[in-house]
Structure 1
Amino acid sequence: MSSKPSKSAARNERRSVKTRSRNDDPLLRLVKDTDAVRREPVRARNELVKPLNDAQRAYDAAMKSSDIVFGIGPAGTGKTWLSIMRAAEALKAKTIAKIVLTRPAVEAGETLGFLPGELDEKFDPYIRPLRDALEEAFGSTHLEYLLKTGTIEARPLAYLRGSTIKDAWLIADEMQNATVAQFKMLLSRVGEGAKFIINGDPDQIDLKDGSGLYDAVKRLHKIDEVEVITFQRSDIVRSGLCQKVIEAYESPSDFRYNADNDERNTEGVKRFINAGGQS
């Protein structure tokens, strides 16, 4: 006479059946296959990096001559990509010891504490655009080595407090979403042999209480070691369609001068910079 299976054994069998069923799901297999394709190793580019327009040439020159560079303008102008490529060249030439990547984590109203996983996993979606450019510069395999050894480090903006950045390039992206206090904290991290590249788009501010980008430009623009480069819609190099999309979302009302010079108004950034930083 056969014995009746225990309740725990029967429960484990049911779980096993469900797991096999999920693994056989065509949609899940498609997701896994897609993920595998995305993780295909990327080879480092061998082509010489050249600026594509006057704005990029000015930005490139500023990165060579200044210690703090603001790159301000719409998406698709190549600010992030070009700064990553020049930082990679400096690291390969051993003129710096490290690259630090950072950005505020405020998009979509989320905070790192509510996202799943460890800190690296939580921050990865925010740093993904920078990582893609780094893979192009170093190749996937070498990039993983540089990340594991800490030669390239990605840290949320808030986690830079108390640090001193020296002999390194720090690239801060999406900085239109940093507050005045965060800018003060970040910019006071600069040490010997450090270069800070601050990129932002005043038209993509997600903060409810206003951005610290204009405040930082106003405070620092007269310092010799600081340079501010402005990109316009005509400087978009991502694609012609990208330029049309940006234009479609920017109505004439977006460019009216605010007589009260409200620092929370994004036009204040554009007007101030286009006027050469005159106050």
Structure 2
Amino acid sequence: MNSSYNYSEIIIISNPDWLIAILGSQDQNSYLYESNFGIRIANRGETITISGDDESQVLLVKDLILKLVDLLERKISLKKMDIMTAIKMAQNGQLEYLVNIYEEIVGRAADGSAIRVKNFGQLEYVKAVAKHDVVFGIGPAGTGKTFLAVVMAVQALKEGRVKRIILTRPAVEAGENLGFLPGDLKEKVDPYLRPVYDALNTIYGNEHMNRLMERGIIEIAPLAYMRGRTLDDAFVILDEAQNTTIAQMKMFLTRLGFGSKMIINGDQTQIDLPKGVKSGLIDAEMKLRDIQRIRFVTFDEFDVVRHPVVADIIRAYSE
């Protein structure tokens, strides 16, 4: 331990497997704690020593590691992503909710494995959808908005709370100029809905997914095809909502029928509308935020569940 540090805390972990889970093989994870909190970690035997010049950061890392121990006691295996999630939540003042994340099972994949939320932002998102009929998920790519929305839609269908799932998005920027693309409607739209197909495939498997689509239980269509419809007993998801115009957003939202839920996802930093055209997503947030039955959930770079450098890239561009 470097004696020049002003503060230090000690944690005793007697289980060698837990030590490896927290610090990584050959202490590879120590760098993650040290670089994110400006502290120093030393490990000798069963003892982890956390040292630094900022007492609050030393105590925060101690609390973080104890929370990881709590997860291990609950027989939850830790991967590097889990360590990064804990670090991000600690930095964002949300560490107390870490255990809650692993208790929230949203659905199950085709192989039976549990699908859980991965951070506090996703936890808030899932809880919002459970309590509200219309939920907006706003934030950068890589936060899991589309995937979680599809998982929740499938779960609602399996439990009989809805009779069908409708997935839509504006295709080819906002103009939806599908006529210029080759192939039939499905072939025109498919490239723009790849993330949705990937999510459905994870949950159902390709064969079952195709059967449900053939029966009309799962419908995937461009936004233009929603006009004039009333969507009853459906779980409706609008993806890439930042590329809707104000008129398109109003049209979509007023399709909501009895027994239905709507999720509207978008990233306000990736608007592809023509210059001078206001995004329907930004307009909706301004006009609808105070309506009690509608909930807006905002994601940020802390909620990104891709490679850790993606969060840094998003932060750099936003600055």
TM-score by length of 2: 0.63
Please list, as runs of the form range in 1=range in 2, the aligned pairs for 1:1-279 lying within 5 A after superposition. Answer: 44-107=110-173, 111-208=177-274, 209-250=277-318, 252=319
2-side partners of 1:55 and 1:226: how far apart? Answer: 17
Identity of aligned residues (%): 50
If each structure's strand is expressed as a fraction of its own residues, which one has the higher value? 2
1-side partners of 2:176 and 2:237: how far apart? Answer: 22
* AA in 2 matched with 1:212: G
2-side partners of 1:109 and 1:212: how far apart? Answer: 13
Q: Alpha-carbon deviation of 1:47?
A: 1.8
Distance 1:215 1:114, change over 3 A: same
Contact 1:96 1:168 in 2 (8 A): yes
1-side partners of 2:176 and 2:235: how far apart? Answer: 28
Contact 1:106 1:177 in 2 (8 A): no
Q: Alpha-carbon deviation of 1:245?
A: 3.0
Contact 2:227 2:252 in 1 (8 A): yes
Q: Describe the superposition over 1:138-177 as per-residue Cα deviations: whole angstroms up to 9, x where unpaired.
A: 1111000001011000111011001111111101000000
Distance 1:213 1:109, change over 3 A: closer
Aligned to 2:272, what secondary structure does the other structure show? coil
1-side partners of 2:114 and 2:197: how far apart? Answer: 20
2-side partners of 1:109 and 1:226: how far apart? Answer: 27
Q: Alpha-carbon deviation of 1:48?
A: 1.9
Distance 1:108 1:91, change over 3 A: closer
CA RMSD of aligned residues (A): 1.6
Aligned to 1:171, what secondary structure does the other structure show? strand
2-side partners of 1:58 and 1:101: how far apart? Answer: 22
How many aligned residue pairs are there?
A: 209
Q: Describe the superposition over 1:247-269 as per-residue Cα deviations: whole angstroms up to 9, x where unpaired.
A: 3433x2xxxxxxxxxxxxxxxxx
Unaligned runs of 5+ in 1: 1-42, 253-279
- Which one scores higher on RCO, CA 8 angstroms, separation ≥ 6? 1
* AA in 2 matched with 1:243: A
Unaligned runs of 5+ in 2: 1-108
Aligned to 2:237, what secondary structure does the other structure show? strand
Distance 1:177 1:238, change over 3 A: same
> Which consecutive segments of 4 or more residues in structure 1 shift more than 4 A?
none
